[in-house]
Amino acid sequence: MFNRNRGLRRVAAVASIALVAGCGVFSSTGTGDSGPIVVGTTSAPSTLDPAGSWDGSWELFRNIYQSLLAYPDGATAPQPDAAENCAFTDSGKRTYRCELRSGLKFADGDALDAEAVKYSIDRIRTIKAPSGPAGLLGSLDRVQALGDREVVFHLNKTDATFPFVLATPAMSIVDPDDYPARSLRKDDSVYGSGPYTLKAYDDKRAELVRNDRYQGFADRQNDAVTIRYFQDSATMVKALRSGDIDVTYRGLAASDIVALEAHADTDLQLVDGTGTDISYLVFNPADPWAKVPAVRKAVAQIVDRSAIAHKVYKGTVDPLYSMVPAGLTGHTTGFFDDYGDPSTSKARKILADAGITQRVPLTFWYTTDRYGSETGRMFQELKQQLDDSGLFTITLRSRPWKTYVVGYQKGEYPVFGRGWFPDFPDADNFIAPFVGEQNALGTPYPSPVITGKLLPESRTESDRGEVVKEFKEAQQILVNDARLIPLWQGRQYVAASDDISGGERALDPSTIMMMWELHRKTSW
């Protein structure tokens, strides 16, 4: 269902097969590393409390907290982590039972039991943070703790995707003694039961050290990792080239990727693989122009995704014609099938048929510090495409992520850009979060056929390869509405110094980095 095949592009003169196989020229030093592996990223956490985040903060959560299920060894279906086993216990897939591993403890020594799991899930729904993950739990009725090790989830409807939800870092288990039931934790001294503990944290770095009390699937190949947070790709790559960091992930600019590929004498390596992150536009129905279907469809008819992919991103992303990315079961190319190549004349007819003859004014908003250095240039390209058609007058506005989120949640933006890194590798997760009165976008999108028929039908099927029909129909509804316009699908790049191994295994199916897979190499 999810293609994890990855290629390793060498930027140094060492045979790639030796690096992929982990043998030949180099071997791992394992946990005997001389110092922490330093990983650079431009995606800093918005919060350290799992109940408050439905975003890139999950990267850190996966490494310091633990969930009942996860994705060990590249699995595409959830497997036990804090749980010893989990399964639906009824044919209707409305009762899901997990048995915890014996003797689990948090990093401070407190017991991690069934009550802690129940507490952690309940507080997500109680707090219901505006940017939190409560929306993932729409099918959950109640959680029951039976004894110390048994947790039972009672669902209010059939939901075969519920195990995927439990495998997200949003469902991280926290200590009831130190995480308030009705509010988010504000300090930086957080901890969980994951592979690492958070030794120190500020807005520039997170220092992770091995958690000796951890019990789970992670086979840690290092004792410590430091994550450094950068504002831009250029500064991050400069730090990689100078040896100040060992690995970069998330936020590599296209120009830096191309430069790394082009220079074979830099003693660096580049892991290149297909990703499932997407970029798209959201139209706010509260805006007098954005609410008009003909306006949205005219924009969809003009947008040139290939120009964006090649002019702005230099071929490091792929044009996307559906909200469900390629590589997932049920992917279609609906926007290309219905609109074909970009056409101003077709767009003009769409508007004229709706009685619109003047240039349509629209304001496009984007964030300056979330989705990579090219975001601003992409919106400049979109503005030029639409302005040059003679049918639109586009104004661009931008904000940093933390204030940007507040704005779209309040419905302030007529049209705005969003990116989406999947919660789990299933087409459901590229449709369900965006529809309904309450969704991840902050703009209501009632779609009764999708929410009342297609998604419920698809969630009765545990074999996710058997839900193609439902997802194709849902995607066509999204195309017809043009409330969401997909732009591109990303590829995943991990750049690393020559003495680092594990980068090709470090990304789980949701493209979250498992820091424990990274390790240093030494000559035989």
| Residue 276 pLDDT class (50, 70, 90 cuts) | confident
- Say how far apart CA 299 and CA 373 lie, in whole Å: 24
- Say which range, 102-106, 421-425, 445-449, 515-519, has the weakest mean pLDDT: 421-425
* Of 284, 253, 289, residue with least CA distance to 445: 284
Per-residue three-class SS string for 161-210: CHHHHHCCHHHCCCCCCCCCCCCCCCCCCCCCCCCEEEEEEECCEEEEEE
For residue 516, count CB atoms less than 10 angstroms from its CB and return exposed for 0-12, middle for 13-18, buried for 19 or more.
Answer: buried
**According to the model, what pLDDT value does residue 4 have?**
28
- Say how far apart CA 373 and CA 386 lie, in whole Å: 22
Report yes or no: 271 and 261 within 8 Å, Cβ to Cβ. no
Q: Check residues 304 and 17 and name the one with the higher pLDDT.
A: 304
Mean pLDDT value of segment 267-289: 91
Which tens digit of pLDDT belongs to each residue from 338-375? 999 999 999 999 999 999 999 999 999 999 988 877 99
**According to the model, what pLDDT value does residue 18 have?**
28
316: Cα separation from own chain's centroid: 18
Q: What's the alpha-carbon Rg for the chain, to the nearest Å?
A: 23
- Say which range, 92-101, 222-231, 395-404, 417-426, has the weakest mean pLDDT: 417-426
Pairing mode, if any, of strands 415-420 and 360-367?
Answer: parallel
Report yes or no: 364 and 282 within 8 Å, Cβ to Cβ. no
Check pLDDT > 80 for residue 244: yes
438 residue type, one letter: Q
Check pLDDT > 70 for residue 26: no
**According to the model, what pLDDT value does residue 8 have?**
39
| Residue 30 pLDDT class (50, 70, 90 cuts) | very low
Mean pLDDT value of segment 18-33: 37
| Residue 20 pLDDT class (50, 70, 90 cuts) | very low
DSSP secondary structure of 244-282: S-SEEES---HHHHHHHHH-TTSSEEEEEEEEEEEEEEE
* Of 427, 432, 447, residue with least CA distance to 324: 427
185 CB contacts (<8 Å, ≥6 apart)? Answer: 48, 49, 178, 179
Mean pLDDT value across the chain: 89
What one-character DSSP code corresponds to residue 140? E
**According to the model, what pLDDT value does residue 522 have?**
65
Mean pLDDT value of segment 29-44: 77
Q: Check residues 163 and 439 and name the one with the higher pLDDT.
A: 163
**According to the model, what pLDDT value does residue 346 have?**
98
- Say how far apart CA 192 and CA 117 lie, in whole Å: 12
310 CB contacts (<8 Å, ≥6 apart)? Answer: none
217: Cα separation from own chain's centroid: 21
| Residue 334 pLDDT class (50, 70, 90 cuts) | very high
**According to the model, what pLDDT value does residue 236 have?**
95
Report yes or no: 224 and 37 within 8 Å, Cβ to Cβ. yes
**According to the model, what pLDDT value does residue 181 have?**
96
Partnered with residue 408 across adjacent β-strands are: none
Check pLDDT > 80 for residue 265: no
- Would you call 130 helix, strand, or coil by DSSP? coil
- Say which range, 179-183, 325-329, 334-338, 354-358, has the weakest mean pLDDT: 325-329
202 CB contacts (<8 Å, ≥6 apart)? Answer: 188
368 CB contacts (<8 Å, ≥6 apart)? Answer: 375, 376, 398, 399, 400, 401, 404
What is the percent of the chain where pLDDT is above 90? 72
- Say how far apart CA 352 and CA 37 lie, in whole Å: 59
What is the percent of the chain where pLDDT is above 70? 92
Check pLDDT > 50 for residue 388: yes
Backbone phi, psi, residue 86, to 5°: -145, 150
| Residue 50 pLDDT class (50, 70, 90 cuts) | very high
142: Cα separation from own chain's centroid: 27
- Say how far apart CA 14 and CA 193 lie, in whole Å: 38
Tokens describing residue 329: 């079961």
364 CB contacts (<8 Å, ≥6 apart)? Answer: 281, 379, 382, 383, 394, 395, 396, 397, 414, 415, 416, 417
**According to the model, what pLDDT value does residue 264 have?**
57
**According to the model, what pLDDT value does residue 311 have?**
96
423 CB contacts (<8 Å, ≥6 apart)? Answer: 54, 136, 164, 165, 168, 170, 429, 433, 510
Identify the helix (H) or strand (E) that includes residue 10: strand 6-10
Partnered with residue 81 across adjacent β-strands are: none
**According to the model, what pLDDT value does residue 131 have?**
80
Mean pLDDT value of segment 296-311: 98
Tokens describing residue 248: 């970069």
**According to the model, what pLDDT value does residue 54 have?**
81
